[in-house]
Amino acid sequence: MTNKDELISIVLPVFNEEDGITSTIDTLEKFISNQPQNFELIFVDDGSKDKSADLIQQQQAQYSNIKLVQFS
């Protein structure tokens, strides 16, 4: 298996993180772009009352490796 065949999942719990979620995604994507492996970012929103989920969904339009799981 080559490095490009590997998929590394980074799971991030989210709860009312709208103030920092965009910068977190940008930082992770910058790191990922310099790695030989494939990465996916899985955000698990545990019922945020702010705009965390909306911001993650906006980032999904830019980055195809972002997944969002939402709990109410």
The parts of the chain modelled with pLDDT lower than 50 are none
Would you list the domain boundaries of the chain?
20-63
The pLDDT assigned to 33 comes to 94
The pLDDT assigned to 72 comes to 81
The pLDDT assigned to 61 comes to 95
Task: Give me the phi and psi of 45, to 5 degrees please.
Answer: -90, 115
* CA-CA-CA-CA torsion sign (8, 14, 18, 23): negative
- CA-wise closest residue to 39 among 12, 67, 71, 7: 7
Contact (Cβ atoms closer than 8 angstroms) between residue 59 and residue 25: yes
Residue 2: CB atoms within 10 Å: 7
